[in-house]
Structure 1
């Protein structure tokens, strides 16, 4: 879910010139109330009347406010993040008929209407509403039985406010019934979950009992930008495969009428099968069906999942039917420079680079730091491109002139994830179309791609040992 644009500059939005006028009016009202109370006491008002008047004078208690709400796809779960101005207690209930997850929170100031928000992954959609004074309820409708694997209230750090994080995963109907009486997962990093039994029929959870939250630890200092890492032996690298186009965007249309979106999805599924069969990788597809996904959202999926490598699959088309073969693109220097400037110019730069908060830096410093990280990422992207061409060239035909190319494709702009775009062939070539539509050719592509990924991560590991 995109960040809420009207919350990016709250101080200017909420405390502008009109707010100054409102503040002045409030001060006049308070002065009038104070004058009335003084004259009332002088006239012999009862203490109870004085207390009532004093209560009217008391300023309203400011409620915690929502800064951002977003859903992110991970290989085996959907993550929901609610960024708030201060930590709050929460309570989780899982219900069936229909399947949904309910989270009760203290009443929050949440700008915008409480209309249902489209979901991702196991979450079909979610909505929020004040169900009674002092209680706001978040309801996640799930596509089948699901559970909250992890729940945590993270303290403020790295330029971010407190965050409620829920990891929601799909489970079987049998596991759902088996865990129906289990308490929600133990929260981490502050916050508190009040255990509520999971029940198979709708039932409103009991009211929230406010609980004291532990003091937040001090924010971590700003770190230097990190190069793409060689994952530890205990951690399988995550490869994100991006089948180009989809949904209302068919991509190129082949000489036999086939759409690029179908070619790329079939190839991505086969590559995923072979990479996972090796037992060495986790694999996430940006789409696993015929749906439209915006280019920037494809990059966001990879970054949200903390990907180690991003591979976008496409099939080109030109006017000539005689040109054929595979090529690989990495991000051009000029496009990378523009991306660095764009990231540095953002008002909220806490997410510009993984592990680095740039929100306190000026544009020049932020641009330099982003550029340093991008240079290293581009070098790793080029390293993988060379390795992939070497392996793919053993299985399929490469274009004869300079198969490694550079361009400003939007899906290659992640500043901290090595990324390549593979043009698997030309749909304007009948020979390439005939190959790309056969399972045998897709199997050869997947096999070569797996060897390339193996060689790339071996080089990272050897570099780390060296």
Structure 2
């Protein structure tokens, strides 16, 4: 698994493709003291800050399986009473020490890119600070970087034995302090080496949620004991969920159908992928011959179905669009299989995480089936590069479930729970 590597060390400038930043090292035998660590949430990034007694050498790596950002310091003594609680993109922080090296692992909710990493001089009474800015990254962009790194014969990264490093060119940092503010005598005069951009980078697009109301047109789906068809219920819930998601101002929303039309299962998946969906949620309401069974359940793609899909995607005639954003048609069979597996593995992990959030949030509002987290080979869950879940909202063969699903107030509660699950998935849950 390749990683993205940013190294900061006290060496002379190198070629642009291998550009590094410089930071002063403490005197021999004198460790820099880390006294505080904190996470901050900004509209376009998550910031990690460590207060230090003096500047220190650091290295930053982004990696997958699990998604994480790893920071290592040399010559630092750790005196921070408590690691920061999860915030923004960061789901947890772990620390380890060995051989005079402090290693911090920031587990992230998805692939992350380093916007900026630097050691700031003391200013306005503040101590020297290590500042790291990270933002969500398209999994396909991460895979593309891995694909570019695979032929490399570079030496393994010191942070991840056996992993091939990739040079990372970071965007420019925030503006430096005014030139009239002198640096502290014990610190280097310049700690930043990247040029200031002429214009601000565009803000990232809002996540796109694709909702898939099951059935439609000549395919009515199940019929409730009240006579209502599944296709009508799924569309009503999808429209209500779209309204609530858009009302947050945090998401873009698309529907595979917004009226009573028939759409093939594979076309639903293709639409989500062509739009660049961040999540795909398929809505259904089941029916069964046993009228006593009721409750909600959430499905992700089964392992066997994943294997069959990977085999089909890896066939040469399918490689051009096997993963959106990457044309694998020129790759060897081994490289194509690895990249497809990476994409599927990430999508499956993220799908399971979303499914767990749905059960957690909706379990407070509606009845659940025993063992509500399930897997199956549903065709609408086969996108290798889009986290996908199928929600069976209840059983239309059960009188109570059927009555609830035809109730506008219940559909609002159901949609609200799903919005909370989506918020939790993107780390935007409100307390």
TM-score, normalised relative to structure 1? 0.48
Task: Report how many aligned residue pairs link the two structures.
Answer: 234
Taking structure 1 as reference, are residues 335 and 348 closer, same or farther at Cα in structure 2, changes over 3 Å only? closer
CA distance in 2, matches of 1:392, 1:233: 32
Q: Does 1:344 align with 2:344?
A: no
Structure 2 stretches lacking a partner, 5+ long: 1-142, 149-201
Q: Greater strand share, 1 or 2?
A: 2
Q: Does 1:452 align with 2:374?
A: no
* Structure 1 match to 2:304: 334
Q: Does 1:373 align with 2:343?
A: yes
Superposition CA RMSD, Å: 2.0
TM-score, normalised relative to structure 2? 0.52
Tell me by how many angstroms 1:386 deviates: 0.4
* Structure 2 match to 1:296: 266
CA distance in 1, matches of 2:392, 2:383: 19
Larger Rg: 1
* Structure 1 match to 2:232: 262
Contact 1:225 1:373 in 2 (8 A): no
* Structure 2 match to 1:436: 405
* Structure 2 match to 1:243: 213
* Structure 2 match to 1:322: 292
CA distance in 1, matches of 2:144, 2:404: 50
Tell me by how many angstroms 1:446 deviates: 0.8
Structure 1 stretches lacking a partner, 5+ long: 1-220, 227-231, 461-466
Contact 1:337 1:371 in 2 (8 A): no
**1:6-405 equivalences in 2 (<5 Å):** 223-224=145-146, 234-399=204-369, 401-405=370-374
Deviations 1:139-159 (A, max 9, x none): xxxxxxxxxxxxxxxxxxxxx
Deviations 1:362-415 (A, max 9, x none): 43432232112101110000001101110111111111x210000110000110
Taking structure 1 as reference, are residues 450 and 354 closer, same or farther at Cα in structure 2, changes over 3 Å only? same
CA distance in 1, matches of 2:364, 2:144: 45
Taking structure 1 as reference, are residues 233 and 433 closer, same or farther at Cα in structure 2, changes over 3 Å only? farther
Tell me by how many angstroms 1:288 deviates: 0.3
Contact 2:312 2:318 in 1 (8 A): no
CA distance in 1, matches of 2:405, 2:268: 23
* Structure 2 match to 1:422: 391
CA distance in 1, matches of 2:328, 2:317: 10
Given the alignment, which residue of 399, 402, 410 partners 2:379?
Answer: 410
Contact 1:243 1:313 in 2 (8 A): yes
2:282 alignment partner, SS class: strand
Q: Greater helix share, 1 or 2?
A: 1
Deviations 1:225-252 (A, max 9, x none): 79xxxxx964211000000000011111
1:403 alignment partner, SS class: strand
Tell me by how many angstroms 1:223 deviates: 4.4
CA distance in 2, matches of 1:312, 1:242: 4
CA distance in 2, matches of 1:269, 1:370: 33
Superposed structure 1 runs of 4+ greater than 4 Å apart: none
